[in-house]
Amino acid sequence: MAFLCRRVVQLSCRNFSISSVQCAKKLMGDPMELATGLEKRELLAELAGNDDPFNMKLMKRGPGTKENPNLIPSAFDARIIGCICEPEAQHIKWMWLHKGEPKRCSCGSWYKLQETTPI
Ligand SMILES: [Zn+2]
């Protein structure tokens, strides 16, 4: 009986999800036609080949010395960054990075804000 109940639930979920997706495809138009403002600029940037328009992807650290800090792109005066200090670390060290003020993490890596143009 439990097997039958589970099977019925699985079938009903599958039918529901398939029908809702098909229904959404019929009702919703092209996202590019519906998007406005920031969302539209994001979609246009992705079409132009920029798959990370907000610079949110994980970046690998460079040497990170005081003379050659890791450059963090930002279109604002400050940005929150996270440093994974060691490869086996279980936590991320979060900190604010301000424009014109290079900052040193507790692991010794230096970071500096690099100005970029907003999308
Ligand atoms: Zn660190």
User: What CATH number has the domain bearing residue 91?
Assistant: 2.60.11.10
Q: Could you tell me the pTM of the whole model?
A: 0.67
Amino acid at 110: W
- pLDDT value for 15: 52
- pLDDT value for 32: 86
Same domain, 65 and 102: yes
Ligand 1 centre and the CA of 68: distance in Å? 15
Looking at per-residue confidence, does 45 or 27 come out higher?
45
CA distances from 33 to 28, 36, 43, 119 (A): 10, 8, 11, 19
Ligand 1 centre and the CA of 106: distance in Å? 6
- pLDDT value for 13: 45
Domain that holds residue 11: 2-34
Ligand 1 centre and the CA of 64: distance in Å? 10
pLDDT digits (tens, 9 = 90+) for 67-102: 999 999 999 999 999 999 998 999 999 999 999 999
State percent of the chain over pLDDT 90.
53
Cα angle: 71, vertex 76, 78; to 5 degrees: 70
Q: Domain for residue 29, yes or no?
A: yes
Three-state secondary structure call for residue 58:
coil
